[in-house]
């Protein structure tokens, strides 16, 4: 049996608001079309990085954001991360709760069978905070280009944005 490595770190930001805790800790969903980050998708000039609001780990770059029209900030690719560099992307890793997921840069992907359907949940690899879900096979590659077929549907409330000029 393969020994599956575990996430060791856990960072808790006690400054999170009730709304942030509802999404990040209790896996809730923010109301669609409420995130101020949706403006970034259609207005040029927003260059920067999105980090975990709980632990500030780098999660996404603005260059991978796109306007999916779904009501939540959308990204096609996770940011290149430096957490657990010995574990390749796509490899199994055990989250803080003991649940096994797949490493995806600084993100961990879990199978989520809630709400009577199978989805893939994405969480911060550092602190296991809930970020949103990833949807595959929607055909975005035809619009966005080769290799850009995934849609990370992310609660903006789970993210910090740091603008870069």
Reduced to 3 states (helix: H, G, I; strand: E, B; else coil), residue 62 is helix
- What is the maximum span of the chain, computed from C-alpha positions, in angstroms? 50
- C-alpha–C-alpha distance, residues 36 and 137, integer Å: 27
Q: Minimum Å distance from CB 146 to Zn ion? A: 30
Report if residue 23 touches Zn ion, rule: CB under 5 A: no
Reduced to 3 states (helix: H, G, I; strand: E, B; else coil), residue 110 is strand
Q: Residue 63: phi, psi to the nearest 5?
A: -65, -15
Among 38, 127, 157, 159, binds Zn ion (CB under 5 A): 127
Report if residue 126 touches Zn ion, rule: CB under 5 A: yes
Report if residue 124 touches Zn ion, rule: CB under 5 A: yes
Footprint of Zn ion on 63-122 (CB under 5 A): none
Nearer to Zn ion by Cβ, of 127 and 134: the residue is: 127
Q: How many residues bind Zn ion (CB under 5 A)?
A: 8
**Active-site amino acid positions:** 153
Residue 40's closest CA among 20, 55, 19, 62? 62
Distance (Å) of CA 103 to CA 87, 100, 114, 125? 8, 10, 21, 8
Footprint of Zn ion on 30-59 (CB under 5 A): 52, 54-55, 57
Q: Minimum Å distance from CB 43 to Zn ion? A: 27
Binding footprint of Zn ion on the chain (CB under 5 A): 52, 54-55, 57, 124, 126-127, 129
């Amino acid at each position: 049996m393969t020994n599956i490595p575990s996430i060791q770190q856990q960072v808790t930001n006690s400054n999170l608001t009730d709304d942030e805790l509802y999404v990040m800790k209790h896996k809730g969903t923010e109301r669609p079309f409420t995130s101020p980050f949706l403006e970034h998708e259609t207005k040029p000039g927003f260059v920067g990085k999105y980090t975990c609001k709980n632990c500030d780990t780098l999660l996404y770059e603005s260059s991978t954001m796109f306007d999916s029209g779904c009501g939540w900030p959308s990204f096609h690719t996770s940011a290149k991360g430096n957490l657990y560099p010995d574990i390749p992307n796509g490899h199994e890793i055990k989250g803080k709760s003991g649940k096994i997921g797949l490493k995806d840069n600084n993100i961990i992907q879990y199978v989520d069978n809630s709400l009577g359907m199978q989805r893939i949940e994405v969480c911060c690899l550092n602190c296991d905070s809930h970020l949103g879900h990833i949807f595959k096979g929607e055909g975005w590659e035809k619009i966005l280009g080769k290799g850009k077929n995934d849609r990370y549907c992310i609660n903006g409330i789970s993210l910090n944005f740091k603008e870069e000029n």
